[in-house]
Amino acid sequence: MLNSVRRRETQLLFGFAKRRKRKKGAGRKPKDLVNGAGVSHLRRPAVVRRFPLHVTVRMRGEVYGLRSGRCFRVLKRAFAAARAKFGMRLCHFAVMGNHIHFLVEAEDSAALARGMKGLGVRMAKALNRVMGRRGAVYADRYHLRVCRTPTQTARALEYVRANARKHGLIRGGLDPYSSWVARDVVVAARSWMLAEGWRRARGP
């Protein structure tokens, strides 16, 4: 009887503790609380010359107002200087408030990486001078989508062209903060897909 009582006492003493409720905000934090967890670091899709590329870059929280006159002026100069460098060609763009869409062509993945790095450096220097700040302007890695068919290319063109309307920045007509108006800072497409193939896209 005495042994039985001792066993029960031992079980009470060393029994499992009650599970505590998880505190709000506990656990591993995103790498950037202001700018979000960011673009996946999985391997990017392969880049080949014949496929146009839809590239999106998002700015850090303190880098804003890209559609203001002073920011857009320096961005246009950065685009013009980097429009045909390192094997990458900048064919279209649309500047939003805190992100930018590009349609580019590149010889290969290395050319895209070099071209986007060069473009990013020019943009950072220009925007930092305007805003009186230092450091990176991108919130994270750029997002890449490869357009492998005329339909995908046509959709990317329409997406970039109409993005300002989607965000409520314009009501109609062409976006003045895009390459459809600022044509002098981009180059003509060379790939068949982006130059004319998109016209053969299938309907919805």
Please give the pLDDT value at position 45: 79
Domain count, the chain: 1
Q: What pLDDT is attached to residue 11?
A: 54
Specify burial of residue 109 (Cβ count, 10 A radius: 0-12, 13-18, 19+): middle
pLDDT at 31: 47
In a domain, 40, yes or no: no
Question: Per the domain annotation, does 107 fall within a domain?
Answer: yes
Q: Which domain holds residue 113?
A: 53-200
CB 175 within 8 A of CB 181: yes
In a domain, 32, yes or no: no
Whether 13 maps to a domain, the answer reads no
57-98 pLDDT tens trace: 999 999 989 999 999 999 999 999 999 999 999 999 999 999
Backbone φ/ψ region at 111: left (φ over 0), alpha (ψ -120 to 50), beta: alpha
Residue 16: what pLDDT? 44
In a domain? residue 8: no
Q: Is the pTM of this model over 0.85?
A: no
| pLDDT value for 14 | 47
Mark the ranges of the chain whose per-residue pLDDT is less than 70.
Answer: 1-43, 203-204
* 9 located within any domain: no
pLDDT at residue 64 in the model:
86
In-domain check, residue 96? yes
pLDDT of residue 51: 97
CATH of the domain at 95: 3.30.70.1290
Please indicate, yes or no, if residue 63 is contained in any of the structural domains. Answer: yes
